[in-house]
Structure 1
């Protein structure tokens, strides 16, 4: 069931990423020529959304299973990672650095919530795990 819930967001986000990689400059040029340079920051931010799709609903599941404190602590930790990485990277690389800082904080948060969810409840909702489980179910003798 969880794999079916992941399929649509994963497909749509992957499609959006491909569109941005292929035609990002042309799409951004609709807003003006000065926007075409934002292709790579936009690709990085879309990559963050792709990572969210790959990791599944671990963030909201922490709240559903009653781990609100842990979820809040992880959100504050991710915010701290975002602030520090933004101070360093945005000052060095501008908008691209800010996008990279968002990616770092997002990956930190997603990995941390997946670990905490697994420890607190034994659940795993990431696409890689679910695909592995599906493959092992298909290859198991009946």
Structure 2
């Protein structure tokens, strides 16, 4: 139960921190110079990817500790392929940040599916 509370609090903190760039991203980034001020939307997408990781919890660590290093290596290969595909599809128009977000989401969902198939403990916020 303590682990579930830790995952939930971590996810809650990440989502709370994510709200700052959503509303004040341009202002925060303008502290680094005028060229950075336009990066607010990109920062929001990248922090959203971290929020997905926080919502999934320590699943990557769990899959490694359960002795499934080979499965984890395969999932990293899948994530690499997903990154290549999303780069080709998304960089010309929506941008590289969305490609990174899509890749992290695909990787984390694949890890959750693998944990479930192996019968390991779930560490995502939905399992709470």
Structural mapping, 1:126-137, within 5 Å: 126-130=124-128
Segments of 5+ residues of structure 2 without an aligned counterpart are none
Greater fraction of residues in helix = 1
- Count of aligned residue pairs for this structure pair: 127
| SS of the residue 2:44 aligns to | helix
- Aligned equivalents of 2:105, 2:9: Cα separation in 1: 21
Task: Give the drift of 1:30.
Answer: 0.7
Q: Which residue of 2 aligns with 1:116?
A: 114
Segments of 5+ residues of structure 1 without an aligned counterpart are 131-142
- Aligned equivalents of 2:126, 2:114: Cα separation in 1: 17
Task: Give the drift of 1:83.
Answer: 1.2
Runs of 4+ in 1 over 6 A off after TM superposition: none
- Aligned equivalents of 1:123, 1:10: Cα separation in 2: 18
Query: 1:57-106 CA distances to partner (integer Å, 9 max, x unpaired)?
Result: 1111110000000001001111111111112211234xxx1010011110
| SS of the residue 1:85 aligns to | helix
- Aligned equivalents of 1:127, 1:8: Cα separation in 2: 10
User: Which structure would you say has the larger Rg?
Assistant: 1
Q: Which residue of 2 aligns with 1:68?
A: 69
TM-score normalised by structure 1 residue count? 0.84
Q: Does 1:44 align with 2:34?
A: no
CA contact (8 A) 2:8 2:55 kept: no
